[in-house]
Chain A
Amino acid sequence: KNEVEQSPQNLTAQEGEFITINCSYSVGISALHWLQQHPGGGIVSLFMLSSGKKKHGRLIATINIQEKHSSLHITASHPRDSAVYICAVSQGNLIFGKGTKLSVKP
Chain B
Amino acid sequence: DGGITQSPKYLFRKEGQNVTLSCEQNLNHDAMYWYRQDPGQGLRLIYYSQIVNDFQKGDIAEGYSVSREKKESFPLTVTSAQKNPTAFYLCASSLGTSAYNEQFFGPGTRLTVL
Contact = CB atoms under 8 A, between A and B. Distances in A.
Interface of A: 2, 4, 29-31, 33, 35, 40-45, 48, 50, 86, 88, 90-99
Nearest to B92: A43
A45 B42 contact: no
Contact of B100 (A2, A44, A48, A95): A48
A41 B40 contact: no
Interface in B41-62: 41-45, 48, 58
Nearest to A95: B42
Contacts of B105: 35, 42-45
Contacts of B40: 98
19 contacts: A2-B42, A30-B99, A30-B100, A31-B99, A33-B102, A33-B103, A35-B105, A42-B105, A42-B107, A43-B90, A44-B105, A45-B103, A45-B105, A48-B102, A93-B48, A94-B45, A94-B103, A96-B44, A98-B42
B110 interface: yes
A45 B104 contact: yes
Interface residues of B, number: 22
A50 B48 CA distance: 23
A45 B105 CA distance: 8
B90 A29 contact: no
A19 B41 CA distance: 23
A2 B106 CA distance: 26
B108 interface: yes
Interface string B85-114: 000101010000101101111111010000
Interface string B56-79: 001000000000000000000000
Contact of B42 (A41, A48, A97): A97
A98 B110 contact: no
Nearest to B100: A31
A93 to B, nearest CB: 6
